[in-house]
Structure 1
Amino acid sequence: MLSALKYLTSRLRREETGATAVEYGIMVGLIAVVIIVAVTLLGDNLTQMFGQIACQVGSGGTYTAATGTCAAPTTP
């Protein structure tokens, strides 16, 4: 019985696959948090930038960020 317990504890000390899986899980979780924070902080700016680009490419007008509208260009 004692030798079986010794064998089990020595085997558990050598076994590192569980620790590696936990480390990878923590790493994936932290990467997900960083991505969520970056998208949250940059989301409005990216929306405005792409809206402005779409407005200029589509009609050549001016984009109003406050209202999110595209005004057609005025021709003199």
Structure 2
Amino acid sequence: MKKLFSKLARDESGATAIEYGLIAALISVALIAGAGALGDSLNTTFDNLSTTLDDNQPPAAE
């Protein structure tokens, strides 16, 4: 029984898996935040483009 506990105490594979999981979660959060910022920027750009195009249309013929 003592051998089993000492073997478990020296086993670091669980800690390594947790570290990789934390790194993957951090990367995911960074990607989501970056995609959100990019989406907001694109939305603003297209809104400005739409406004510019609407303002520059010729008057409607009657």
Band of TM-score, shorter chain: 0.5 to 0.7
- 2:14 counterpart residue number: 18
RMSD: 2.8
Give the TM-score normalised by structure 1: 0.55
Report the identity percentage. Answer: 42
- Map 1:1-76 to 2 at 5 A: 5-46=1-42, 48=45, 65=48, 67=50
- What TM-score, normalized to structure 2? 0.65
Which of the two has greater helix per residue?
Answer: 2
Aligned residues: 55
Q: Which has the higher contact order (CA 8 A, sep 6+)?
A: 1
Structure 1 unaligned blocks of 5 or more: 52-63, 72-76
Q: Deviations over 1:27-52 (max 9, x none)?
A: 1001101110111122131452xx6x
The 4+ residue runs of structure 1 with deviation greater than 6 A are: none
